[in-house]
Every structure is written in structure tokens, then in C-alpha cells.
């Protein structure tokens, strides 16, 4: 397997780039109240995990120190999908996103964070304040598409958590993705719940999209093996594919906050 360095994304360079396109009947107003926008401070480390010599017994995390690269501000569609937005706000308010990492980077498609698992490895522990989400079984919650850069959605169809975790009765989905642009990602439509858009910081999304990732080797027989394994029902291929797009440098959420009214996006902002 080889690390793949991603091509530059011209559309991700502008912090004013619009981020999603909805249908007229869906209310994508960024909701008028404290909590209609969330800010995430992002950093990138030199490696994915601490080197062996840097680790100590009892380390609570083996994620290396990351250098800040900027802030993402996400406006939330509280009118369209109130439960999904409420759960995202509860996750941010809990502080449980801080110190976690982006688990997948697919330049030209999306970057993904909020994967559940071991905190030590940069995964999320879901707080009790995150409630069961009835919108995951409501067709109307899936109507908004992933047409423009900066679309933020609850990762259901593109979820990369272990299947055994998702089958637990107490499982509550919080993993989310952000589309990178420059074009739409239609394959995500109908699979994930769009609940917001990036209103500031698309240049940060662009920087994250450039991080080298784990992927199939262009030489040898890895692609042929995976195709054969998938054809005969061998689950090893699916296991390997879940690792595709895994960053080879830790992309860390260094801070998260719910913005007060004075720092939010314009109240008239809607998806265009």
C-alpha cells in the first residue's frame, strides 16, 4: 500500500464558497438562536500516531501534538433536521470532539470525523446527552443533496465504524462528513443526513484534503485481490477498503465551541 498525495482543490481555497444546494421545500435557514453555528479548530500533526519512543505507560492518547491550521465554522439547519442538529450540538457541548481525529480523507469528495471507538486512538466517546435519532428512519431527513463544497452531513451510508459497533442497541450515530468540492458528490445523496454547511473555513477543508492517505497500491496485485475477495464474499476486502482514505498524518480537532449570537453566520443565509 502506498501513501497518496492529493491534487490541489481550487474550489476549496475560498472561505466564501457556497456549500450545499437544497430544494425549495426544505428549510435550510441557519436557525435563529444561540447554537445555530459551531466552530471547530483543526490541526495537523507530522505523523498519524506517536512514535514508540514518545509513548509512555498509561498514555490516555497516542495521537501526536498537532499544529493548528485554522477554524471551521459550521452553520446548522435546525429547522430541517432538528434532532440531528440537537445531537451535534450536544456532542460539541460535551467537549468529546476535542482531541479526536478525522478518520477519512477523500480529496474531491469529503473529509470525515466523529468516528466512535477508543479515545486513546483519537476516536469519539458519545456522551449520554446525545439522544436516539428518529430522523435516521425518516425519508424527509435525507432530501438535501451533497451538491456543493462544504456540505456537512451525518455519515450513515459512508460510516466507517466497525459493523459490530453499529449493531449495538445503544448505538447513536454522530460521525459526520464535510464535502471538499470542487464538484458535487451525488453518490452521497439519500444515504446521509445533511444538517449544515461550512460558512467559514473552506480553505481549512482544502488543507485537510491534501493530507496523504492510505490507499491501494497502483502496482502489484492488491486491487485484483480486493476485487476477487469481494466477488467471492470474503470480508477481508471490505475490511481493507474501510482503511482506504485513512490519513497518514493525524488531523486533529483541537477545539470545539457553540458560537454566541454575535459570531454566527447571517440569519438569512440559506442553501442555494
Q: What angle do CA 16, 22, 24 make, to 5 degrees?
A: 120
- Tell me what pLDDT residue 209 has: 96
pLDDT for 59-81, tens place per residue?
A: 889 999 999 999 999 999 999 99
DSSP string, 18-81: ------TTS-----SSTTSEEEEEEEE-SSSS--GGG--TT-S--PPP-EEEEEEEEEE-TTT-
Instruction: Set out the domains of the chain in order of their start, with CATH numbers.
Output: 37-51+59-218+240-258 (2.40.100.10)
Answer for the pair 99, 43: CB distance below 8 angstroms, yes or no: no
> What pTM value is reported for the model?
0.80
- Tell me what pLDDT residue 31 has: 62
Phi then psi dihedrals of residue 14, to 5 deg: -105, 125
Question: What residues contact 98, with CB distance under 8 A and at least 6 apart?
Answer: 253, 254, 255, 256
- Tell me what pLDDT residue 26 has: 81
Answer for the pair 96, 255: CB distance below 8 angstroms, yes or no: no
Residue 123 DSSP label: P
User: Could you list the pLDDT tens digit for every one of the 272 residues in the chain?
Assistant: 444 444 444 343 333 344 444 445 788 777 645 458 999 999 999 999 998 888 888 788 999 999 999 999 999 999 999 999 999 999 999 999 999 999 999 999 999 999 999 999 999 999 999 999 999 999 999 999 999 999 999 999 988 888 888 899 899 999 999 999 999 999 999 999 999 999 999 999 999 999 999 875 444 444 454 554 556 565 554 555 566 789 999 999 999 999 986 554 443 333 33
- Tell me what pLDDT residue 173 has: 96
Residue found by looking up cell 451535534 in the block: 88
As a whole number of angstroms, the distance between CA 264 and CA 38 comes to 8
pLDDT for 145-180, tens place per residue?
A: 999 999 999 999 988 888 888 899 899 999 999 999
Partners of 38 in beta bridges: 74, 258
As a whole number of angstroms, the distance between CA 82 and CA 272 comes to 20
Counted residue by residue, the chain has a size of 272
Amino acid at each position: 500500500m502506498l501513501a497518496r498525495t492529493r491534487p490541489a482543490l481550487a474550489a476549496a481555497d475560498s472561505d466564501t464558497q457556497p456549500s450545499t444546494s437544497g430544494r425549495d421545500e426544505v428549510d435550510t435557514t441557519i436557525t435563529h438562536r444561540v447554537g445555530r453555528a459551531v466552530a471547530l479548530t483543526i490541526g495537523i500533526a507530522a505523523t498519524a500516531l506517536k512514535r514508540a519512543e514518545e509513548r509512555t505507560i498509561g498514555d490516555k492518547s497516542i495521537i501526536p501534538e498537532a499544529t493548528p491550521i485554522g477554524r471551521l465554522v459550521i452553520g446548522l439547519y435546525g429547522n430541517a433536521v432538528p434532532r440531528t442538529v440537537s445531537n451535534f450540538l450536544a456532542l460539541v457541548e460535551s467537549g468529546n470532539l476535542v482531541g479526536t481525529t478525522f478518520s477519512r480523507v477523500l480529496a474531491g469528495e469529503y473529509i470525515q470525523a466523529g468516528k466512535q471507538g477508543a479515545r486513546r486512538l483519537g476516536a469519539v466517546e458519545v456522551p449520554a446527552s446525545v439522544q436516539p435519532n428518529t430522523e435516521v428512519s425518516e425519508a424527509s431527513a435525507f432530501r438535501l443533496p451533497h451538491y456543493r463544497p462544504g456540505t456537512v452531513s451525518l455519515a450513515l451510508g459512508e460510516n466507517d465504524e466497525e459493523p459490530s459497533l453499529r449493531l449495538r442497541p445503544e448505538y447513536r450515530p454522530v460521525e459526520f462528513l464535510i464535502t471538499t468540492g470542487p464538484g458535487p458528490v451525488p453518490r452521497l445523496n439519500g444515504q446521509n443526513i445533511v444538517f449544515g454547511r461550512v460558512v467559514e473555513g473552506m480553505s481549512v477543508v482544502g488543507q485537510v484534503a491534501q493530507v496523504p492517505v492510505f490507499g491501494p497500491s497502483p502496482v502489484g496485485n492488491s486491487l485484483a485481490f480486493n476485487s476477487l475477495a469481494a466477488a467471492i464474499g470474503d470480508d477481508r476486502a471490505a475490511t481493507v477498503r474501510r482503511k482506504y482514505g485513512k490519513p497518514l498524518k493525524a488531523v486533529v480537532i483541537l477545539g470545539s465551541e457553540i458560537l454566541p449570537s454575535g459570531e454566527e453566520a447571517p440569519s438569512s443565509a440559506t442553501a442555494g
